[in-house]
């Protein structure tokens, strides 16, 4: 049975949508010396693209890189070094836990997948190796899935099967997912983490600390639905079940309780933002699937995720 592609996800493969992304470039930091986890311009003797400098010849230097013109003119031996750009691996991690699928009408999971696809498309324009990773699953069972790395925009459609097939279920065990991610022993690169982050702060702090220790450049996009961010449940008595833990709780929603819910979501957002800021992590919030276009055009460039 062929999976049904949501209207939101279908946008990620429309030519008109991709044309809007063509002029965007990922805001990955560049440096003239090698810094793991960042796109780097480093000095490599004798090989590369752009001539950078000369140095006096020392015994043992490769004779292939001698500058014979300088020797003829100055009667002095110099060797040449070049500037070479090292590719940066880009991993885009998408939270597939149960909370990402609710409220259904918000379609924040569709929004997360479109944003992940858009980031992948932009990164492929730089010919960087790019992959998508999903995490989430049934309780007590980590579900982790990753595509292979792709390097050119001609391969963009290869991401479509995974984006179509992944479903929301289980709890958000972000720390375990990141640990599994790092166990693959890849060279450090850039990690985008897309999630609602409606979890205790200790969970994402542990996950981020592992990425920081592994010298990754981290970029966080908090994806929320319009209804949940506004606390739109009407007044009345409710019997609520936690979609991730299964815990059932009976509550009565009053205007005061609804306002407290809104303030709690805002506090969670602020805590995440403050932690990211304090640890050099780029943070952006995507609230509401209807705001996709505005987010891509305004928020990503403003926050340095693309330029």
Same domain, yes or no: 173 and 56: no
- Asked whether 223 and 115 are in contact (CB, 8 A), the reply is yes
**Full DSSP string of 38-91:** SEEEEEEET-SSEEEEEEE--TTS-GGGB-HHHHHHHS--EEEEEEEEEP--EE
Tens digits of residue pLDDT in 184-235: 888 899 999 999 998 889 999 999 999 999 999 999 999 999 877 776 666 6
**pLDDT confidence of residue 224:** 94
Structure tokens at 73: 């003119």
Average pLDDT, the chain: 80
The Cα–Cα gap between 306 and 208 comes to 21
Note whether residue 224 is domain-resident: yes
Question: By the 8 A CB rule, do 78 and 56 touch?
Answer: yes
Residue 306's pLDDT is 76
Q: Which of 49-53, 140-144, 299-303 has the lowest mean pLDDT?
A: 49-53
CATH no. for residue 227? 3.40.50.410
Tell me how many degrees the CA angle 165-133-20 measures, rounded to the nearest 5: 80
In a domain, 32, yes or no: no
Mean pLDDT over 276-287 rounds to 95
Whole-number pLDDT of residue 211 = 97
169 compared with 205, residue with greater pLDDT:
205
pLDDT given at position 274: 97
User: How far apart (Å, rounded) are the C-alpha atoms in residues 85 and 305?
Assistant: 20
Instruction: Tell me: do 126 and 115 sit in the same domain.
Output: yes
Is residue 169 within 8 Å of residue 96, measured between CB atoms? yes
Range of the domain at 53: 39-86
Cis peptide before 291 (omega within 30 of 0): no
Q: Whole-model pTM above 0.85?
A: no
Pairing of strands 190-195, 90-95: parallel
- pLDDT at res. 111: 95
Q: How many domains does the chain have?
A: 2
User: Would you say residue 30 has pLDDT above 60?
Assistant: no
- Higher pLDDT: 69 or 106? It is 106
pLDDT band at 102 (very low <50, low <70, confident <90, very high): confident
Going by C-alpha positions, the residue among 161, 156, 166 that lies closest to residue 135 is 166
Q: Is residue 2 part of a domain?
A: no
Whether residue 255 sits in one domain with residue 288: yes
259 and 130 in a single domain? The answer is yes
Number of other residues whose CB lies within 10 A of the CB of residue 198: 19
Mapping DSSP onto H, E and C, the string for 204-247 reads HHHHHHHHHHCCCEEEEEEEECHHHHHCCCCCEEEEEECCCCCC
Q: Look at residue 259 and tell me if it is in a domain.
A: yes
Closest to 114 measured CA to CA, from 238, 295, 298, 306: 295
Query: Which H or E element spans position 193?
Result: strand 190-195
Sheet architecture: strand order including 50-56 = 30-31, 39-45, 78-86, 50-56
Which pLDDT band holds residue 121 (cuts at 50, 70, 90)?
very high
Residue 170's pLDDT is: 81
* pLDDT at residue 126, as a whole number: 83
From the list 157, 198, 192, the residue with the least C-alpha distance to 300 is 192
Tell me if 31 is assigned to some domain.
no
Same domain, 184 and 256: yes
pLDDT per residue as tens digits for the range 140-150? 555 889 999 99
CB-based contact 150:156 (threshold 8 Å): yes
**Between 46 and 200, the higher pLDDT residue:** 200
Which two three-digit tokens encode residue 243? Answer: 């979609």
* Inside any domain, residue 33: no
Provide the pLDDT for residue 86.
60
Let me know if residue 248 belongs to a domain.
yes
Strand 39-45 vs strand 30-31: parallel, antiparallel, or unpaired? Answer: parallel
């Amino acid at each position: 049975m062929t999976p049904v592609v949501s209207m939101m996800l279908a946008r990620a493969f429309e030519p008109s949508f991709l044309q809007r992304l063509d002029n965007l470039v990922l805001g990955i930091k560049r440096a003239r010396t090698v810094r793991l986890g960042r796109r780097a311009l480093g000095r490599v003797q004798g090989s590369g693209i752009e001539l950078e400098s000369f140095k006096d010849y020392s015994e043992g230097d490769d004779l292939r890189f001698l500058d014979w013109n300088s020797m003829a003119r100055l009667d002095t031996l110099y060797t040449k070094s070049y500037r070479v750009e090292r590719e940066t691996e880009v991993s885009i991690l998408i939270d597939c836990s149960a909370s990402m699928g609710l409220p259904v009408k918000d379609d924040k999971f569709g929004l997360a997948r479109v944003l992940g696809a858009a980031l992948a498309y932009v990164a492929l324009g730089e010919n960087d190796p790019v992959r998508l990773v999903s995490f989430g699953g049934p309780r007590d069972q980590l579900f982790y899935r990753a595509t292979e790395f792709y390097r050119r925009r001609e391969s963009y459609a290869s991401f479509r099967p995974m984006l179509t097939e992944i479903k929301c279920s289980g709890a958000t065990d972000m720390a375990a997912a990141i640990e599994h991610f790092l166990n693959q022993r890849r060279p450090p690169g850039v990690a985008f983490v897309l999630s609602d982050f409606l979890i205790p702060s200790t969970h994402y702090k542990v996950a981020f600390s592992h990425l920081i220790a592994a010298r990754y450049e981290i970029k966080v996009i908090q994806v929320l639905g319009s209804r949940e961010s506004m606390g739109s449940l009407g007044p009345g008595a409710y019997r609520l079940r936690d979609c991730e833990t299964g815990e059932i709780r009976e509550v009565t929603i009053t205007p005061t309780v609804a306002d407290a819910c809104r303030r709690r979501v805002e506090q969670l957002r602020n805590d995440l933002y403050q932690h990211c800021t304090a640890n050099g992590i780029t943070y952006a919030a995507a609230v509401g699937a209807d705001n996709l276009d505005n987010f891509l055009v305004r928020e990503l460039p403003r926050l340095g995720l693309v330029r």
